[in-house]
Amino acid sequence: MTQQTHETPQAAQVPQATPAAATGCPPAPSRGLAQGWCALSALHGRIESHIERALQAGHDLSVREFSVLNVLSEQHDGPGGHLRMHQVADSVVLSQSATTRLVTRLEARGLLSRYLCVDDRRGIYTDVTADGLTLLAEARPTHDTALCEALQAAAKRPELAPLVKAVETLVPSA
């Protein structure tokens, strides 16, 4: 029978915490920062959900579809005003594949068109059609009303009120 010995480890080697500045990493987020992020996420979710319901009911349009039409409409006039698919994806914060599916649905509805870039045959431009601009103009008041309603409702919640105030005081860049 072998005898087992239980050795107690000498002082356990616990790595010393390296100051955040020494590693180049920012310090771990504080509880307040995490709570702020949760509040921002909640505000975004509430607003997007409210706008989604209003746009679907009134115009058979999702928030993402509205966003794509809106982004492209702002690029509609002038040379180089059309966007490539990766620029659309970046503008509406979607993956390339999700953007392609979304643009394909909008194109099937006659709201967008795609065409090859003359300078780079690999590039595809996306543009809003006249029907897309008409639907966007019809949907914009619904969007804006739903946005105001969602912000007013969120302002009544103490944890969201400061964020609503910040959103309401943002000044658009020129």
pLDDT at 80: 46
Query: What pTM value is reported for the model?
Result: 0.75
HSE-CB for 67 with a 13 A CA cutoff = 16
In this prediction, residue 114 has a pLDDT band, given cuts at 50, 70 and 90, of confident
pLDDT at 115: 83
Extract the tokens encoding 170.
């943002």
The whole-angstrom separation of Cα 165 and Cα 168 is 5
Tell me: the pLDDT tens digits for 68-97? Answer: 999 988 874 444 457 888 888 888 899 989
pLDDT at 69: 93
User: Torsions phi, psi of 112, nearest 5?
Assistant: -135, 160
Pair 50, 148: CB distance under 8 Å? no
In this prediction, residue 27 has a pLDDT band, given cuts at 50, 70 and 90, of low
In this prediction, residue 151 has a pLDDT band, given cuts at 50, 70 and 90, of very high
In Å, how far are 29, 109, 140, 164, 169 from 135, measured between CA atoms?
A: 43, 11, 8, 28, 29
Range 134-154 average pLDDT = 97
Q: Which helix (H) or strand (E) holds 115?
A: strand 112-116
- Nearest Cα to 167, choosing from 149, 143, 151, 150? 151
Pair 108, 69: CB distance under 8 Å? no
150 pLDDT more than 70: yes
